[in-house]
Amino acid sequence: MKNEEKIRKYLDGELTGEELLKFEEEINNSSELKRTIDSYKNTLNQYRRFSNPDIQNSYFVNIIPEFRERIKKKKESKLKPVFVLGSVSLVIISLLVIFIFNKDREIMYNDNIVLQDIESEELNSYVNNYSRDFNSIQLTEVVEYDSLFNSMILNELNINGNSRNYFADVTGNEFYTILDELSEEEIDGIYNTLISQKIY
Amino acid sequence: MTEQNNDYNLIERFNSGDETAFNEIVRKYQQRIYWHARRMTGNHLDADEIVQEVLLVMYKKLKDFRFKSSLYTWIYTITSTRSINLLRRRSVREIFSFQDNEFDKASDSDILTELENKEEVIRMLKHLQKIPVKQREVFMLRAIDGLSYDEISELTGKSVGGLKSNYFHALKKITGLMQNEE
């Protein structure tokens, strides 16, 4: 048997009879072995005293109240499944509504997106729906004024070929605004200035 | 009435809705839970946190307890697992933050503040932190709590031979640490 195992058995009280007597004799005959065993015994004595340290009892008195407080807080903060499900549904519905609304706004206000992204069939349906926003007389007037004004300007300014690309078109609404704000004399003045100074 | 029967009655009462029975179970085992956690972690704050975690697990899981072991063995296993998890988290934190171990951090709120031999107890706790967890656990149960190897084997699920070996290695290391201090 190794010496360390003997020491452990001795310290644990597992040596008995002849074996114990023999080992005790070994200890008495070896000051080094005696010193080693004494140091182990000293360690064990110190730690055994530490088994029940005298401590502040208030800590243990407060363990249960603290635990109850934690349980209470946990229960209060715990969300009911029905409430969680309702909240999640509400968020999803809100997101869908926002998405759909924004898509409509995009179609209404961004002409480029409308023309590039939608199919011709879809475009026809939009034209049919949104054309109800104008009355037929208004729409005819706009088209007439637009084409009349454009052809007049192009002829008078003698614009053709590539020069047409630099010509800024005027929409029906802008044309109305110009007409409302300018007098006949002012319109003639602008026209004559354009012709005389050849700003084209 | 044996301890096992008493525990059985307390659990039955608690599972029938008697909250005071849970308080009785806590009062019965709280010191053992605390000191096991305290010796494993080395400081009061971590031990206190583990005590609360263990109570929470007990509160939730007592209804499933079937007395395949004693109630204390079950509580001990929970405490041990929680302590080891905390030590793992702490060692990871120490690696990344380059900190020394933390067992001094709780000195201000320590329940040992009015203890006459406080310095000695803290010194012993520090020594325990310097040996491997497996050895520490066996040493605590054998040298401090005075349990037999069979009892320790039942608690930890480890073989008696392995426990004896771990215990003696721990004893040698701690004795060496104490001698180095002198």
CA distance A79 to A86: 11
For CATH 1.10.10.10, the residue range(s) in chain B are 101-182
| Sequence ranges of chain B with CATH classification 1.10.1740.10 | 1-98
Neighbours of B82 (CB within 10 A): 23
Fold of B1-98: Rna Polymerase Sigma Factor; Chain: A (1.10.1740)
Flag whether the ipTM exceeds 0.85.
no
pTM of the model: 0.62
Test B111 with A51 for CB contact under 8 angstroms. Answer: no
Lowest mean pLDDT among A120-134, A180-194, B2-16, B28-42: A120-134
**pLDDT tens across B59-68, in order?**
999 998 888 8
Does residue A9 carry a pLDDT above 70? yes
Task: Tell whether A59 lies on the interface with B, counting CB pairs under 8 A.
Answer: yes
* Integer Cα distance of B38 and A59 in angstroms: 13
Nearest one of B145, B32, B120 to B136, comparing CA atoms: B145
Give B89→chain A minimum CA distance, Å: 23
For A42-51, what is the mean pLDDT? 86
Q: Classify domain B101-182 at the CATH topology level.
A: Arc Repressor Mutant, subunit A (1.10.10)
Q: Distance between CA B118 and CA B141 in Å, rounded?
A: 21
Task: Select from A4, A43, A48 the Cβ nearest to the Cβ of B174.
Answer: A43
Task: Return the top range by mean pLDDT from A6-20, A129-143, B79-93, B112-126.
Answer: A6-20
C-alpha B152/C-alpha B137 separation (Å) is 9
Query: Taking CA atoms, what residue in B is nearest to A57?
Result: B111
- State which H helix or E strand residue A93 sits in: helix A81-109
In 3-state terms, what secondary structure has residue A14? coil
Contacts of A52 (CB under 8 A, 6+ apart): none
Distance CA A55, CA B115 (A): 6
Label residue B39 exposed, middle or buried (CB < 10 Å: 0-12, 13-18, 19+). Answer: buried
